Every structure is written in structure tokens, then in C-alpha cells.
Amino acid sequence: MQRRVASGSSEQWVQCQKCKKILFKPDFERALRVCIHCGHHHRLRARERIAITLDPDTFVEQDAELRSDDPLRFPDYPDKLMRAQQTTGEFEAVITGTGKLGGSEVVIGVMDFAFMGGSMGSVVGEKIMRCFLRGADEYLPVILFCASGGARMQEGMLSLMQMAKTTAGVEKLQRAGLPYLAVFTDPTMAGVLASFASLADVIIAEPGALVGFAGQRVAAQASSGKPPTNFQTAEFQTEHGMVDLIVPRAQIRPTLLYLLEMFGGAG
Amino acid sequence: MTIFDFEKPINELESAIQELRQLSAEKGLDRSREIAELETQRERLLKQIFAHLRPWDKVLLARHPKRPYTMDYIRLMCEQFVELHGDRLGFDDPAIVGGLAKLGGYKLVVVGQQKGRDLKERQKRNFAMAKPEGYRKAMRLFQLAEKFRLPVLTLVDTPAADPGVESESRGISEAIARSMLTMFQLTVPTVAVVIGEGGSGGAIALAVANRVLMLEHAIYSVIPPEGCAAIIWRDASRAPEAADALQLTADDALRLGLIDMVISEPLGAAHRDPQTTALSLRSAILQQFHELSALTPEQLYQHRHERFRRMGTFLSTP
């Protein structure tokens, strides 16, 4: 440790957002941004997630040409979109496509919280809908990594309708008898949790992820008792039967492989 | 009763008319000319005010404490109604009512959120904020409708689904999601009407239908204007501006292609004349079911899927 401090530049060190301990960046990256001290799972960007999930160089992005409009001429929305695009290098809050997992083709969608809080507007809803339709049309399982604060306020009612639209997608895939696996990452909230996310055949969550319906303050105000300390965590949701299993980041890929093998969707 | 700013002059005239009537009755004086004059004024004022309602006024009207609620419409519209209770999982949520109704020759399953009229009932019904068990009761009734081939009518009127700890513990998100899923699976005709507040996920959970209608002064929104204002401007008191921005009125919903029809309310809004409102609602609903009766079960299923498949506005770059 001492030696590394002496030899490394400051860019080689990061601080855990939870336990605040200093971590050697190459180790931190190797651990997939999980703190080796406290196990805190730091958020990943969508393309980083795809890279650690799929077989190398198999991802083919789809529907990347879709862009958000500003149908309501909502205050500052175009600026917010532009800023999100500049800071993230992405055009929207979900990256979707196809790729291979253990040699088998799957449809994958990964939400990116860095893009406007992973909020679901018309483009996110459409891209997720197309994941389900692609799965049903091409007989492929669908895997979605969720990370979202909920519906995108700036598209008003149109965003609300995406909850129904994506649910229709789940229904189509279900009818086709194909597996749909969801992974709840930090955070999976509100309009996303209350639509397609909660309808997966199997729901995996990352340890410590925030998973819930309303904001914590709103929830506390609406309740008589004090919320439990683990309220709206992946662990809380698992205790209450809303999540199948909590899986540490490094084990997610093998877990998905196992599930797909069991459902006959891969392997 | 709460008097809203824009209603104040109307209410003042109405009490003046009331006073004159009482005076003429008590003193035996004929004040009919004055009364008629005030009535004309009242009518003119109503027309004037209601011709220029802002979105925020509509929010207040949609939440008006005298506005007719689900059970009022059921009583006024249906020939018969038997309420059914419980989710068969341990609970019966008073925030959602449902049952079997006869309406103009149709046998229907009706489900809707129910607000309370006085403080006690408001608390009992949790201000129409349904818990998971409410949506699970709804799903049970939807499945009953499917089994016995009964068309489904839902009446939507909720500020939001219940956000409390208890609801979270029992899976409010999953219940909302599954309610929508169940509505997509139906092969019977379904009609949803937003009669008051269409509050985000809690509302759309009951509004996945072949036809979605709104009463003229109902609202449908992804977030309450107060919450929206608190997020954008860190100031909930700027809710009226947020109401403009959110485009949450029935006319907005129609223009955005999200609903099929706006049902007119009597001059001065539904609470001034619940009977007439119920009649308009009834004939609009019957018209929808009549049109949908031309579709086969498979077509009804497909039609509902296609309806929501189209929703959203985006660009596609080359």
C-alpha cells in the first residue's frame, strides 16, 4: 500500500463512495467497481455493463438512431438533453441490441443512470418495447439491466404511457414463451419498477441497490411508523418477495447463463 | 367547503340568489325579476370564466371536493350494481371499488378508485390512493370479466398509488405493473374513463383499455404539478406553471393522441350538475362498447396492443 502511494499518480486512486476508503484504481476496475472493503457496488455506465456481461465483441447495437423530441416544449428540456448527450456520449438513457451470452444469441438492454437519471421517455420506452418485440420475432431471450429514477417528467403524459407500452412488450414476449430476465441495479425506481421491470420471469438485484416506488421522503410522510433502515434496498425487496435473488456483480453473468440454460434459452 | 379563486365570483352570485329566494319566501315578496336578472348574470359569468380556464384551474376542478366520484357515477348511470370485495390474498382495499353492473343493456365489470366525501370516509379510502391489494382486487375482477365474457369499464380518479412503507412492503410497483399486464391480456372490450385525477402510475394501472376517455375537466399526469414544480424550481408553490408545462388537460391528451374522446361537462363543471354529467358519461361509454362489439376477442386483444404500441413521440435520425 505504502509503495503504491509513493509511486502512483493521484489518478490511480479512487475513494469508495460508501465507506470512503481509498482504493487502488486498477484493483477497483478489476473488481468491476465493487469496493473490496465494504462491497459497495458503484454504478456502471451502460456500455461498461455490456462489456462485462456479453461475450467479447458480440454486441450489435440496435435502434441507436432514435432521438428524443420535445413534444411538450417543456422548459429547458432540449438543453438538458444536449447536456446529457455531451456528458455521457450517449443519445439516450438506454442502450439496446443483440449479442452473445455463452455463445447464444440474446436481446439485451441496459439503462444508463448517467443520462438524465435513466428516466423513461418516448425513446427509452420505444427501445425497450423493440427489445421485447425483437425477442418474440427472433425467438431470443431478453435481458434488461434497469437503472432509472422513473418516468421522464419532461415528456409528461407521453412518458406515463411508456409504462403501458413496455408492459405490452412483456406480454407479447410472455405469450411467445420466451425468457425475460431483469437485473435491478442502483437505482431501479418508480415508473420503471412499476412497469416492465417488475414483470420479468426472474428478477436479480445487485447488493445494496435502491429499489422502490416512491421517493424515500414521500414514503416516510405517507406512513405512520418509521421506515426500516434497509427500506427500498434490494435486500428489503428480497425480504418482501419482490426480488428472486441478490447477486454480486461478478456473479451476474454466470447466473444469467444458468437461468437461460434452465429455461432453454441458451447453452 | 373550499372555494377556489376562479369560482369565487360565481359562488358570491349563487349565495345572493339563494338569499333573495329565501327573502321572497319568508317575507312573501316577489323578487323574481331580480332573481332572474342574477341568474342571467350567473350564467354569463360561468360562461366567461369557464371559457378561459387555465390548466391549474382544471387541476383544482379535478380535485374539487364536490366533484362526483366513482360510486356517484355508478349510482347515477347503472341500472343495477353489486359490489364485490377483496383480493383473496388477505386484504380488501376501500380505495378501489369494483363489482357487477348493468348499464343500458350491457352486463359489465366496473372497477374504479373511490375518494371519500367527508374526513372519515376520506381516511378510510386513503384519499383514493390504492395499495397493492386494491390493484390485486382489480386484477381479480378483470379475470372474472374474462372468464364470463363481460366487458370491463374502469373509472380512474386517484392522486397517485399509495406511496407508504406498507404498500412498498407488499409490492405496489409489481401490483401496478401486473394490473396493466392483466388488462393487456383481456379479450373482452375494455373502456377506461378518467373522471377526475389521473395520477401517474396509480391511474394508468387501471387505464390500459381499448378506449380511453376523459371528462372535460379531468387531468392525466405523469407527476403532480406540485412535485414537478418542486423538482424544476425547488418551489412547490409554482405548481400552476408546472401544470402549464405538463400539458395534463383532457384537450392536451386528445391532441397528443393518448385518449379517444373528451366528454363535455355541464357549464360550471361536473359538481354543479352530476346528473347531466352522468348522462353524458353513460352515453359516451355505451357508444364505445357499441363500437367495440364489432370486434372479435382476438381483435380486441390486438387493438389494445396496437393502441399503446403507437404511443410516444420521437425522431429517427438517418
With bands split at pLDDT 50, 70 and 90, how would you rate the model's confidence at B9?
Answer: confident
Can you give the pLDDT at residue A217? 85
Report CA torsion sign: B262, B265, B269, B270: negative
CB of B221 within 8 Å of a chain A CB? The answer is yes
Nearest Cα residue to A205 out of A169, A242, A164:
A242
Question: Closest residue of B to A75, CA-based?
Answer: B245
Q: Is the pLDDT of residue A215 over 60?
A: yes
* Residues of A in Cβ contact (< 8 Å) with B246: 72, 153, 156-157
Q: Does residue A267 fall inside a structural domain?
A: no
Cβ–Cβ below 8 Å for B168 and A213: yes
| Alpha carbon distance B176, A8 (integer Å) | 51
Can you give the pLDDT at residue B5? 73
Domains in chain A, number: 2
Domain span holding position A256: 43-262
The beta-carbon neighbor of B245 closest among A74, A227, A232 is: A74
Q: State the DSSP H helix or E strand holding residue A94, giving kind and residue range, or none if neither.
A: strand A94-101
Task: Indicate if A30 and A51 belong to the same structural domain.
Answer: no
Q: Does residue A220 fall inside a structural domain?
A: yes
| Alpha carbon distance A104, B25 (integer Å) | 87
Q: A86: burial class by Cβ within 10 Å (0-12, 13-18, 19+)?
A: exposed
With bands split at pLDDT 50, 70 and 90, how would you rate the model's confidence at A144?
Answer: very high
Q: Does residue A2 fall inside a structural domain?
A: no
CB of B180 within 8 Å of a chain A CB? The answer is yes
Here the CATH number for the domain that contains residue A91 is: 3.90.226.10
Task: Indicate if A90 and A193 belong to the same structural domain.
Answer: yes
Nearest Cα residue to A167 out of A198, A203, A127, A213:
A198
Place of cell 434497469: A146
B308, B310, B316, best to mutate vs chain A, most A CBs in 10 Å: B308
Task: Indicate if A20 and A112 belong to the same structural domain.
Answer: no
Can you give the pLDDT at residue B85? 98
Q: What is the mean pLDDT of chain B?
A: 94
- Say what percent of chain A tops pLDDT 90: 90
Task: Indicate if A190 and A238 belong to the same structural domain.
Answer: yes
* CA-to-CA separations, B236 to B79, B229, B252, in angstroms, rounded: 43, 5, 22
Length of chain A: 267
CB of B248 within 8 Å of a chain A CB? The answer is yes
| Alpha carbon distance B183, B165 (integer Å) | 26
With bands split at pLDDT 50, 70 and 90, how would you rate the model's confidence at B38?
Answer: confident
Cβ–Cβ below 8 Å for B314 and A162: no
The beta-carbon neighbor of A157 closest among B178, B220, B315 is: B220
| Alpha carbon distance B75, B98 (integer Å) | 13
Can you give the pLDDT at residue A223? 85
- Those residues whose C-beta lies under 8 Å from the C-beta of residue A6, and which sit 6 or more positions away, are none
| Alpha carbon distance B125, B129 (integer Å) | 7
Q: What is the mean pLDDT of chain A?
A: 94
CB of B201 within 8 Å of a chain A CB? The answer is yes
> Which residues numbered 135-164 in B keep a CB inside 8 Å of some CB on A?
161-164
Task: Indicate if A74 and A156 belong to the same structural domain.
Answer: yes
CB of B177 within 8 Å of a chain A CB? The answer is yes
Task: Indicate if A32 and A49 belong to the same structural domain.
Answer: no
Record the cell numbers describing residue B86, joined without a space. Answer: 377483496
Task: Indicate if A200 and A127 belong to the same structural domain.
Answer: yes
* CA-to-CA separations, B151 to A93, B147, B200, B210, B226, in angstroms, rounded: 38, 11, 24, 11, 36
Task: Indicate if A155 and A113 belong to the same structural domain.
Answer: yes
Task: Indicate if A140 and A204 belong to the same structural domain.
Answer: yes
Question: Closest residue of A to B175, CA-based?
Answer: A194
Cβ–Cβ below 8 Å for A68 and B162: no
Assembly ipTM: 0.94
Question: Closest residue of B to A222, CA-based?
Answer: B164
The beta-carbon neighbor of A225 closest among B165, B201, B204 is: B165
How far off is chain B from A110, nearest CA to CA, in Å? 19
Q: Does residue A113 fall inside a structural domain?
A: yes
* CA-to-CA separations, A188 to A177, A179, A184, A233, in angstroms, rounded: 25, 20, 6, 10
**Average of pLDDT values for B129-137?**
98
Q: Does residue A225 fall inside a structural domain?
A: yes
> Which residues numbered 249-288 in B keep a CB inside 8 Å of some CB on A?
252-253, 256, 258
DSSP-derived pairing of the beta strands B211-215 and B261-263: parallel
DSSP assignments along B217-251, one per residue: T-EEESS-HHHHHHHHHS-GGGHHHHHHHHT-BHH
Task: Indicate if A205 and A151 belong to the same structural domain.
Answer: yes
Cβ–Cβ below 8 Å for B164 and A170: no
The beta-carbon neighbor of A219 closest among B164, B173, B201 is: B164
Domain boundaries along the sequence of chain B: 5-52, 59-309
CB of B209 within 8 Å of a chain A CB? The answer is no
* Residues of B in Cβ contact (< 8 Å) with A69: 313-315
Q: Is the pLDDT of residue A166 over 90?
A: yes
**Average of pLDDT values for B264-275?**
95
CB of B89 within 8 Å of a chain A CB? The answer is no
Q: Does residue A141 fall inside a structural domain?
A: yes
Question: Closest residue of B to A242, CA-based?
Answer: B171
With bands split at pLDDT 50, 70 and 90, how would you rate the model's confidence at A267?
Answer: very low
A132, A167, A202, best to mutate vs chain B, most B CBs in 10 Å: A167
Task: Indicate if A47 and A162 belong to the same structural domain.
Answer: yes
Q: Is the pLDDT of residue A1 over 80?
A: no
What angle is formed at CA B109 by the lines to CA B106 and CA B113, rounded to 5 degrees? 130
pLDDT of B208-239, one tens digit each?
999 999 999 999 999 999 999 999 899 989 99
DSSP assignments along A151-195, one per residue: B-GGGHHHHHHHHHHHHHHHHHHHHTT--EEEEEEEEEEHHHHTT
* Residues of A in Cβ contact (< 8 Å) with B253: 157
The beta-carbon neighbor of B165 closest among A76, A122, A231 is: A231
Cβ–Cβ below 8 Å for B313 and A67: no
| Alpha carbon distance B251, B240 (integer Å) | 17
How far off is chain B from A48, nearest CA to CA, in Å? 25
Q: Is the pLDDT of residue A132 over 90?
A: yes
Cβ–Cβ below 8 Å for A156 and B231: no
The beta-carbon neighbor of B169 closest among A156, A157, A240 is: A240
Question: Closest residue of A to B241, CA-based?
Answer: A75
Fold of B59-309: 2-enoyl-CoA Hydratase; Chain A, domain 1 (3.90.226)
* Residues of A in Cβ contact (< 8 Å) with B130: none
Task: Indicate if A16 and A99 belong to the same structural domain.
Answer: no
Rounded to the nearest 10°, the torsion over CA A160, B177, B229, B268 is 70
Q: Is the pLDDT of residue B161 over 70?
A: yes
| Alpha carbon distance A120, A153 (integer Å) | 9
Whether omega for the bond prior to residue A187 falls within 30 degrees of 0, making it cis, is yes
Coil, helix or strand at residue A71: coil
Whether A213 contacts A188, CB under 8 Å: no
**Average of pLDDT values for A57-73?**
96
Cβ–Cβ below 8 Å for B177 and A196: yes
